[in-house]
Structures are given as C-alpha cells and as structure tokens.
Chains A and B, each alone.
Chain A
Amino acid sequence: MDFSLFVTYWPILLKGLLFTLYICSLGIVFALVGGLLLHLMSRIKLRIISFIYVTYLTIFRGSPLLVQVYLMYYGGPFVGIELSAEQVGILGLGLYGSAYFAEIYRSGFASVPNGQVEAAYDLGYSRSKILIHIQLPQMLGLIIPPGINQTIILIKESAILSIITVPELTTAAVTMSTQTFSVIEPYLFLAVAYWVITFIVAKIGHWCEKRATVHLLRSE
C-alpha cells in the first residue's frame, strides 16, 4: 500500500468529505421536517389524503434511491425540470428519507397516551403547543434510536450520489482511484471516513437519547 498517494490527494478527499457532510445535513434536515409534515398530513382523516400518503410511501420506500435520483437528474429535463446534481442530491435524500421518518414519527405519536393530549386541550393548549410541549418531548426518547438508524442509512446511501456527479466523498475517492490506478487506498479511506461519520452520529444520538429519557429514568 502506498500511503504517499494521500499527500497529493488529501485536498480532494477533504473537499469530498466536507461536501458529503453538507449535502447529508441538508438532506437529513429536509427528511426530518418533510417526514413530520408528511405524518401530520396523514392524520387528516380524508380518503384522498391517505391515498396520497400511501402512494408517497410506496414510491419512495418501494424503489431504490439510485433509481429515484437517476430519474430526477437524467429524467427531469424531459419533463421540464432541470436541477443541478447538488439539488437532486438534497432533494433525493430528503424525499426518500421523509418516507421513512414519517413512519418513525407515527410510532412516536402513538406512544403518547391520548389522555395527556386531552388534558392539555382541556387546559386550553393549542394544537401546536400540544405538539411542541407535550407530544414531541416525550416522543424523542422513542424516535431517536430509529431516527439515528435512519440517519446513518441516509449518510451511507449518499454515496449513490456519486453516480449523478455530485462532488462528494465517494466521487473524490473514485477520482483518486481512476487517476492513480490504485484501489485499496482510496476505498479503504472511503470505508474509514464513512465509519467515522456514522460513529460520531451514533454517539451524538446516544447522548440525545439519554437526555430525552431523563424523566423515564427518574420514574424508577
């Protein structure tokens, strides 16, 4: 193995790494907010709404992310939607992630007994205050573990964006590989880099989970 390759390539790799962090952050925030909106929408008891919800889930959970971003990036211009690779990357991760997060929120909301919501309503809380002060804080402890799981999956899936020329980490490693004819070094680096990112995310998640479940520990 020739580690001297990194002397030349570290700026490219670092740039890729930063771009991965950037595009994943935006994509995941998109997915977190989009998933919540999607879930809140699904609670409206209208047949047309539940049809839209199920269709959305079927499309975005039922097909590979690769196919989705391919269609958006290369297929988009045929229907008059021209997006940059970066935009497709964020949108792709966001739409795909929303479908999964919506279901995570659903399980979270189901975990807060309706009586608590009723009591808040009876005391004059608005819907949004009930959501922010009663439901979300209690759900957090429950949705953080699957949420972190999903976040890690999205980060790893973001490697797919290299196929539509997003200048992220995997793209950088592929560039290094094709230019130097080396395989082990760039891909080993890639593996370690993704591992480090997901490791940090998992640690942050664990910390958040502990904070969000303080009241449960104190109940014992």
Chain B
Amino acid sequence: MKKRSHKAIKLVDLKKHYGDNQVLKGINLDINYGEVVCIIGGSGSGKSTMLRCMNFLEKYDGGEVQIDGKLIGYGSDAQGNFQLAPSQIVQKDLSEVCMVFQQFNLWPHMSVLENVMSPLILVHKFSKKEAKERALKVLNKVDMAHKIDAYPGQLSGGQQQRVAIARSLGTEPKIMLFDEPTSALDPELVGEVLKVMKSLAQDGMTMVIVTHEMGFAAQVSDKVIFLAKGLIEEQGDPKILFTQPKSDNLKAFLSTWTERNSGIV
C-alpha cells in the first residue's frame, strides 16, 4: 500500500450533543490508511454518532473531523468566519468515504444491478456499459452476481447487506464505515456478511466498524476502541484489550457479552 502523508481519519476533541444530552464529549482518534478499527461499547455510548460524524451524516458541534487531512463539514468564508460548508463541498470531500448501514438502505424500486449501477451513472458519470462492468465485478466480489435481476424485497437480509456493500465498493471508496452491519440480521446470516468484510480487510481497505460481533472484532481488527458515555475509555490491540481489559466499564461490558454467549452454548 502506497504511503500517504495524512491520516485516513483524524478526530480532534470531537463533540456532539442533542439538546442537553452530550453524546460525544471530546474524542481524539487517529486511523491510518489500511487499518481496520472496530468500535465497541454499550448502547448510548455514542459509537454510532461518532461514526456518523465521520461522514458528516451528523453535524458535530465541537472539535474536528479530518479525512485525508481535510477538515470535513466546515470551512471559512471570505471574511475568514468559520461556518458550515455547502453540502456539495462536503460530499466532494467525502467522495472516498462510504457507509454501510444497519438497515442496508437499498432502494427497493431498483433491481440489484440497478442499485449498484445507479450511483456510478448518476454521480460518477460512467456510461451504462462501464457501470454494468463495474457493478458485475463488485457483485461478484460479494458473491451476489447470481441475483442481479432480483429486487431487494426478494432477498434475505444477508444478501441485501452484501449488495449494499457492493454498491459502496462500486464507487471505489478509500475508507468504509460500517454502522452495525450485522445487527439487523438473523443469526444464521451474520457469517456471510462478516466473510465479505473480512475479505475487504485482507485487501487492505481502511475500515471503521461499529459492531457487537466481538469474535469478529478480535479476529479482523488492528485496533479496538471501547467507547463509554461519549469518551474513548480504552483502546488498543484486540488481543490485549479483550483478554486484559483495564477499566471496570470494559470488564463489565465484556463479561455481559461472554455470559450471553455462553448461555447460548
């Protein structure tokens, strides 16, 4: 992988509140290109909000989000005043960042193939032929090439999520954000999505994943971030973090997770 001068993602004292509720209380985080980072934490810890700030689906109130060295979402006007950037600028700065959503968010009125082709044609100005070629390539990668004419409503959740990943991949993002990509799936369908994500990680994709799949996080990630009450409480190598948690919050979080899973067995 080519060495880059900037961090893929840099968060500096990132803050966000909804009314009186301070969701993010000052997050500092560096993510390098090629890194796979998993974000774990209880519900309400701010992990999804943090992820959504990274591609500016949520406006943050304080601090900075930098993608490839560029400040996202805000800019200075002619007088040098700090203000919200127009959405076209934000979209341009984030053109290499793609999100995969918990609810897949495929467009139900389009076939699988059309879902993947549409952004290529409408946003990236591909010809139909080029778009189809690219779409088939990425659908093949997620093992969905046999369903190109199906509509999202005809697919299982796992299949839909794989198509959603292909739709993102088609635009050749440098950074992919995953917002609980397997949380809406039936347990038996989780594996097929994780398999695709694992292969992306092996290809060197920069990935930030909010997940409850601890096994997957331990296996795939270079770094795990544990968020509690809007702050990074602990972070590090998954092998160390999962086996030797330092903070009480993480110990408690991991023990409930272990209990729940051993209960199934």
- Which residues of A approach B to under 8 Å, CB–CB? 113, 115-116, 118-127, 129, 133-134, 137-138, 215-216, 218-220
Residues in B85-138 with C-beta less than 8 Å from chain A: 87-88, 91, 94-95, 98-99, 101, 103, 105-110, 118-119, 122-124
CA of A133 to CA of B119, assembled, Å = 10
Q: Tell me the minimal C-beta distance from B148 to chain A in angstroms.
A: 14
Residues of B with C-beta under 8 A to A124: 91, 95, 119, 123-124, 171
Task: Give the B interface residue count (CB, 8 A).
Answer: 30
Interface pair B171/A219, CB less than 8 Å apart:
no
Interface pair A126/B107, CB less than 8 Å apart:
no
Interface pair A123/B101, CB less than 8 Å apart:
no
Interface string of B196-224 (1 = CB under 8 A from A): 00000000000000000000000000000
Tell which of A120, A122, A129, A134 touches B55, judged by Cβ atoms closer than 8 Å: A122
Residues of A with C-beta under 8 A to B62: none
Q: Tell me the minimal C-beta distance from A146 to chain B in angstroms.
A: 19
CA of A138 to CA of B152, assembled, Å = 13
The 4 closest A-B pairs by CB, nearest first: A219-B153, A119-B105, A124-B123, A115-B105
Interface pair B103/A115, CB less than 8 Å apart:
yes
Residues of B with C-beta under 8 A to A216: 108, 153
Residues of A with C-beta under 8 A to B55: 122
Could you list 5 further interchain pairs (A-B, Cβ under 8 angstroms) beyond the known A116-B108, A120-B119, A125-B123? A119-B101, A122-B98, A123-B123, A133-B122, A219-B154
> Can you list 25 pairs linking A and B with CB atoms under 8 Å apart?
A113-B105, A115-B101, A116-B106, A118-B57, A118-B101, A119-B107, A119-B164, A120-B107, A120-B119, A121-B87, A122-B55, A123-B119, A123-B123, A124-B91, A124-B123, A125-B119, A129-B123, A133-B122, A134-B107, A138-B109, A215-B109, A215-B151, A215-B153, A219-B154, A220-B153
CA of A214 to CA of B99, assembled, Å = 28
Asked if B48 CB lies within 8 Å of chain A CBs, one says no
CA of A82 to CA of B109, assembled, Å = 47
Asked if B167 CB lies within 8 Å of chain A CBs, one says yes
The count of A-to-B residue pairs whose CB atoms sit within 8 angstroms is 72
Residues of A with C-beta under 8 A to B99: 119, 122
Residue of A whose beta carbon sits closest to that of B154: A219
Q: Tell me the minimal C-beta distance from B149 to chain A in angstroms.
A: 10
Residue of A whose beta carbon sits closest to that of B88: A126
CA of A124 to CA of B123, assembled, Å = 6
Asked if B159 CB lies within 8 Å of chain A CBs, one says no
CA of A135 to CA of B151, assembled, Å = 17
Tell which of B94, B98, B124, B151 touches A219, judged by Cβ atoms closer than 8 Å: B151
Interface pair B95/A218, CB less than 8 Å apart:
no
Asked if B168 CB lies within 8 Å of chain A CBs, one says yes
Interface string of B144-169 (1 = CB under 8 A from A): 00000001111000000000100110
Tell which of B87, B88, B153, B167 touches A123, judged by Cβ atoms closer than 8 Å: B167
CA of A10 to CA of B132, assembled, Å = 57
Q: Tell me the minimal C-beta distance from A140 to chain B in angstroms.
A: 9
CA of A210 to CA of B148, assembled, Å = 23
Q: Tell me the minimal C-beta distance from A90 to chain B in angstroms.
A: 33
CA of A10 to CA of B199, assembled, Å = 76
CA of A120 to CA of B122, assembled, Å = 11
Residues of A with C-beta under 8 A to B123: 123-125, 129
Residues of A with C-beta under 8 A to B107: 116, 119-120, 134, 138
Residue of B whose beta carbon sits closest to that of A116: B105
Interface pair B153/A218, CB less than 8 Å apart:
yes
CA of A129 to CA of B122, assembled, Å = 8
Interface pair B118/A133, CB less than 8 Å apart:
yes
Residue of B whose beta carbon sits closest to that of A218: B151
Interface pair B109/A137, CB less than 8 Å apart:
yes
Residue of A whose beta carbon sits closest to that of B167: A123
Q: Tell me the minimal C-beta distance from A131 to chain B in angstroms.
A: 12
